[in-house]
Chains A and B, each alone.
Chain A
């Protein structure tokens, strides 16, 4: 259905765009460095840019008032932020920020490009499907799986999106992502290591 991947980009979506769709986006795209904790979207705010990551990992993080944060989405070079823009929306429900530093390309003009190209829309909607599936499984494991299983899944999801086998992520960060206190992460990692 889609074009042979190009080699101009590391991002899997950009690699699979038709040249005509790339031509729609490229005039509005800028390459950006994305250090740790760079805010890509803010809850309840208009989505200014859509980011196509080339390296690093972004987390979509939901908050309960007065409670602690929990990660509800993970995005790397397979995808993009701003899935809701692809669905016709313009506001972010949650915060999205970089949890592993990287880089990418961003554009403020995705919605206008989408209205001009059905092939662009078809590809990005396929990605939104994958994100929907990821999120539904996150809901399942959050309800049914114990911490060690959730931690294992999360580490594998990060590994899928990282270069090499080393992940520079602190226990403190994992504790936010998994919605538990930090010593709980330390114990769960011990258990995983003991099992290996």
Chain B
């Protein structure tokens, strides 16, 4: 299975690199994980009383470090999708 890297670009442009990556059957599965993960991170932030990362974006890269998908966390706040 291909490995995808879920880098997180914050609203101010700072990048948190995912050095480990995670295997998924295909990009659709990786996107589903992005949706569920972003929902979880936003929920965790809300419950902690912190500002939530609605401006953050997953920059998902493949094994060749090519960007294959941008997934804005705001999508997880406004659209239905896989639950955490």
Residue ranges of A at the interface with B (Cβ–Cβ < 8 Å): 146-148, 170-172, 180-184, 186-188, 190
Contacts and interface: CB of A to CB of B under 8 A. Distances in A.
A183 B48 contact: no
B24 to A, nearest CB: 11
A187 B20 CA distance: 14
B37 A182 contact: yes
A144 B84 CA distance: 18
B44 interface: yes
Do most interface residues of chain A lie in helix, strand or loop, or is the interface mixed? Answer: helix
Contacts of B22: 172, 182
Considering residues A148, A172, A187, which has the most beta carbons from chain B within 10 angstroms of its beta carbon? A187
Interface residues of B, number: 19
Contacts of B84: 180-181, 184
B48 A187 contact: no
Contacts, number: 48
Considering residues A148, A172, A183, A186, which has the most beta carbons from chain B within 10 angstroms of its beta carbon? A183
A147 B44 contact: yes
28 contacts: A146-B48, A147-B44, A148-B48, A170-B20, A171-B18, A172-B20, A172-B22, A181-B36, A181-B37, A181-B40, A182-B6, A182-B20, A182-B22, A182-B37, A183-B6, A183-B18, A183-B34, A183-B37, A183-B38, A183-B40, A183-B41, A183-B58, A184-B37, A184-B40, A184-B41, A187-B8, A187-B44, A190-B16
